[in-house]
Amino acid sequence: MLSISEIFLSLQGEGPMIGYPALFIRFAGCPAPHCSWCDTPYAQEITAGRVLKPEQIFAEIEALLRKTKGWQTLPLLVLTGGEPFAYWSEEKSNFVTKLSEFGFSIQWESSGRVPIPSGIPGSVVCSPKFFDGTWRFVPENEDRIDAYKFVVTSKEDMPEIVAFLALYPGRNTPAYLMPEGSDKISQEKRGPMVAALALQYGLRYSTRLHILLENLDRQGHQK
């Protein structure tokens, strides 16, 4: 049984595959301590999800895929959370292997706060979390990550981000800066400042499309 917060179609809102039509599976559960700015507080507790058997999840995926019949491509499959690598089990591992047999391109969204299991299919986008004066990151994850995303509130965040990238450069892993804020007004307010920081530091910039397009509902339709 797996604890699932939500399954939905939308556009990938941030990072290297921004704008891709995607099917999201959000696993419930993220180990404490939690980030004060968390934009998915409803998925923090493992008990907050629907407890489903893999076959029930596949049935929901198939129902959503029927809605994508007219699409040019299979959606990107985004496995997110919560923290999708937390509460790892053989059942979760087998579930993911079966998912990859659908032919999806898989993208994981992780904080890097728990070990990333070996042999998982797909690419890993990591958004490291800094709080209480330290990065919450498992150093062994460094080489398993395909891209970093950093949430930026102000230019004062940059020294810690630069220090993180010096410590964990990975395979010259690309890094994106994204404006902090879970509403359109804060995104529009911080966006230009964060874009200017990306240019100043030679990093990449990602907007947060799902927040800017706040009238896009979970089924990818205009509200």
- Judged by the rule CB under 6 A, the positions of this chain that interact with ligand SF4 are 30, 34-35, 38, 40, 44, 81-83, 111, 113, 129
Q: Which is nearer to ligand SF4, 100 or 142 (CB)?
A: 142
CB of 19 to ligand SF4, least distance (A): 22
CB of 32 to ligand SF4, least distance (A): 8
Query: CA torsion, points 211, 217, 221, 223, in degrees to nearest 10?
Result: -100
CB of 15 to ligand SF4, least distance (A): 14
Q: Are 14 and 204 in contact (CB under 8 A)?
A: no
Q: Which is nearer to ligand SF4, 129 or 149 (CB)?
A: 129
CB of 200 to ligand SF4, least distance (A): 26
How far apart CA 55 and CA 77 sit, in angstroms, is: 17
- Enumerate the β-bridge partners of residue 176: 149, 204
Q: Which is nearer to ligand SF4, 35 or 74 (CB)?
A: 35
Count Cβ atoms within 10 A of the Cβ of residue 80 and give its class: 0-12 exposed, 13-18 middle, 19 or more buried. buried
